[in-house]
Structure 1
Amino acid sequence: MFRRVTATDVARLAGTSQSAVSRVFTPGASVSPETREKVTAAAAQLGYRPNAIARSLITRRSRIVAVAMAYLNNQFYPDVLEALSDRLQAQGYQILLFTADRHAAADPVLEQVMRYQVDAIVLASTSLSSAFARECRQAGVPVVMFNRTTDDPDLLSVTGDNEQGGHAIARFLAAGGHRRPAFIAGLEASSTNRDRELGFTRGLAEAGQAAPLRAVGHYSYEGAVEATRQLLRRDDRPDAIFCANDHMAIACMDVARHEFGLAVPEDLSVIGFDDVGPARWPSYDLTSYSQPLLPMVDATVEILMECMEDPSRPARGVVLKGSLMVRGSARRPMDWGG
């Protein structure tokens, strides 16, 4: 009969106490080099692995951070997930991934999340209601919204400077002589879309231009295909399109080139937002506003660690600046210096 090896078995073989075995396998715990060597040798010989679930019952800490994420076909979020996992593992935490509906609040998913006794929650590309946020706080589970903001002053958030990014894109296009810019929106209710469009419209107004033409792509490739068709079929066809993310900008370029026979950027300038990997591929060479992904992830992990240590810490929002990455998909102004 197979019997799972226990810490007691390891302690007996190593000639130590069971508590010494526990300390050896607890990150940051104090243990002498001699004891560590004996315990790890005994554990290797027996094939012992610590039972994280049993430990969580004792410590009341699962060392698991739930990540509720939607829209994984946007390359930005798989990159976020990888970086977040790396940073949390370095702190002794593991990720438990839940997928959410990007068109709705994440409350139903989080009802499931809370049953797993997670230590914290990161919401990426989705949001939650104020009522559920209060419930999480009362349970001592910090929630950080990643790349989203909310009007709730008690919620933690980390975002790029979306409004400034939209403003920088408007300034770039106006300086390049574009006179009929358009905007392909993402999800209407999302803070990222709202702020990017606000900055873009404000920047155009400062340049003496009217509000841009507009279509909605819902942050999806298919949605952006149809939105691009709507814009390019117009008699007053735009000479530049700013898409609220790179995923839609790639769709926009595909439609402009292959369905309408337009040259990019000679006939149409296209700009995205996020600066994901495909933006740098030679076939797209996409001008894009780069989100500071790694600093955003680092800030998220820092906030999580602070709040798990002291749940009474006041809520705060972190906004990190990005930069416009000028490539070949948009006409560059003659005197553009950034």
Structure 2
Amino acid sequence: MLGVSQSTVSRAFSQTASISDKKRKMVMDAAAKLGYTPNAIARSLISNRSGLVAIALDSESNPMYDIQSRTLALEIQKRGGQVVLCPIDKDDLDLAISRAIEYQVDGLIIATSRLTSRAFAQCEKFGVHLSLINRYVENINANSAGIDNQLAGKQAADYLVDKGYKQLAFISGDAGSMTSEERWIGFSTRVKELGLSTPIFIQSKYNFEAGLNAASEVLDHPAKPDAIFCANDILAMGVMDGLRKSGAQIPSDYAVMGVDNIPMSSWPSYDLTTIAQPVDKIVKNAVEDLMSRINGNLDASGEYLLEEGELVSRSSA
């Protein structure tokens, strides 16, 4: 109909291909008249690539995972890919990855603390390129992107000490979580550097209910902390509600601080001081790296691409 080559039509339907706006519009207008759309399945059989990128993430009720997955999906689509979302049900990462591989995905982005050696072996066996979000594992064929968690801990320590708080506490996320452990290392190290005693450590989990329970431990602790740094925002909100339930005032009795800057943190009922995750930068780093490796432009080097979080000061601390 147009008298152009098949490759010209193909380039017009590729967001990343080089073609003039005039020719792209000409092809798109003709396609609309004919009711034509490319067949992605047929194209994958020819190219031996599906164009699919899977995202494996925790199915917990943490808004940060929703923010990450939505931002990842948009960035992947911007670069010509499509997304397969694989929520991790009942801690079964291996099952989520098996389901992703069934769809012959070109790449996989894992945003969870529940990592297993079998999961990595599956990706290696089937040639699936792998990237991690806010996680780092040595000696695997993958790169990582995330917030600088140790720096976030140091930022929290500097802020609280500068505000005049003397007895600090840390409420952790899930046991064994690299994210929580690094935030604790940064926080506790910096607090001691500033001349204060080692912060109180309370083991908890990354959810609201765990924060409610952790508040009871804070209230009963003999050291009487006056400021609390929580491993993430949803945990901090549970702590705040638990403390208030006992009649405590925030921040006059207890200052509370988190990490993430999820939308709820700015709600007037919380107005939570936090370290904002640079989600857009982290996602761009992860997707750009993964797509480059899928396209054969570079190999995984075990690099951890870190971004600095931004301190957001509000009335909780």
Q: How high is the TM-score relative to the length of structure 2?
A: 0.90
Q: In structure 1, which of residues 279, 292, 306 is the aligned counterpart of residue 278 of structure 2?
A: 292
User: Where do 5+ consecutive residues of structure 2 fail to align?
Assistant: none
* CA distance in structure 1 between the partners assigned to 2:263 and 2:20 by the alignment: 46
Q: In structure 1, which of residues 212, 215, 228 is the aligned counterpart of residue 202 of structure 2?
A: 215
1:12-51 → structure 2 map (5 Å cutoff)? 21-29=9-17, 39-51=27-39
* CA distance in structure 1 between the partners assigned to 2:301 and 2:137 by the alignment: 16
> Greater Rg, structure 1 or structure 2?
1
Q: What's the C-alpha RMSD, in Å, of the aligned pairs?
A: 2.4
1:148 maps to 135
2:292 maps to 306
Q: In structure 2, which of residues 163, 186, 190 is the aligned counterpart of residue 203 of structure 1?
A: 190
Is residue 157 of structure 1 aligned with residue 155 of structure 2?
A: no
Note the alpha carbon deviations across 1:183-242, whole angstroms, 9 max, x for none: 111011111011001111112222333332232331000111111112213344321111
* CA distance in structure 2 between the partners assigned to 1:155 and 1:29 by the alignment: 27
Q: In structure 2, which of residues 225, 228, 238 is the aligned counterpart of residue 241 of structure 1?
A: 228
1:186 maps to 173
SS of residue paired to 1:79: helix
* CA distance in structure 1 between the partners assigned to 2:66 and 2:227 by the alignment: 29
43 and 244 in structure 1: CA distance in 2 versus 1, 3 angstrom threshold: same
Which letter does structure 2 place at the counterpart of 1:26?
Answer: S
* CA distance in structure 1 between the partners assigned to 2:23 and 2:314 by the alignment: 57
* CA distance in structure 1 between the partners assigned to 2:304 and 2:222 by the alignment: 44
1:112-151 → structure 2 map (5 Å cutoff)? 112-151=99-138
Number of paired residues?
316
User: Where do 5+ consecutive residues of structure 1 fail to align?
Assistant: 1-12, 331-338
The answer on whether the counterparts of 2:14 and 2:80 sit within 8 Å (CA) in structure 1 is no
1:1-80 → structure 2 map (5 Å cutoff)? 21-29=9-17, 39-80=27-68
Which letter does structure 1 place at the counterpart of 2:123?
Answer: C
SS of residue paired to 1:73: coil
Q: CA deviation at 1:157?
A: 0.7
2:97 maps to 110
Q: CA deviation at 1:52?
A: 1.2
* CA distance in structure 1 between the partners assigned to 2:275 and 2:250 by the alignment: 18
The answer on whether the counterparts of 1:67 and 1:121 sit within 8 Å (CA) in structure 2 is yes
* CA distance in structure 2 between the partners assigned to 1:248 and 1:319 by the alignment: 23
* CA distance in structure 2 between the partners assigned to 1:136 and 1:36 by the alignment: 36
2:78 maps to 90
Q: How high is the TM-score relative to the length of structure 1?
A: 0.84
Is residue 324 of structure 1 aligned with residue 311 of structure 2?
A: yes
Query: Which is further off, 53-62 or 23-32?
Result: 23-32
153 and 53 in structure 1: CA distance in 2 versus 1, 3 angstrom threshold: closer
The answer on whether the counterparts of 1:184 and 1:241 sit within 8 Å (CA) in structure 2 is yes
Note the alpha carbon deviations across 1:278-314, whole angstroms, 9 max, x for none: 2222221111112211111111111112211226443
Query: Which is further off, 30-39 or 133-142?
Result: 30-39
Q: CA deviation at 1:174?
A: 2.5
Is residue 275 of structure 1 aligned with residue 252 of structure 2?
A: no
* CA distance in structure 1 between the partners assigned to 2:94 and 2:37 by the alignment: 35
Query: Which is further off, 144-153 or 183-192?
Result: 144-153
* CA distance in structure 2 between the partners assigned to 1:72 and 1:123 by the alignment: 14
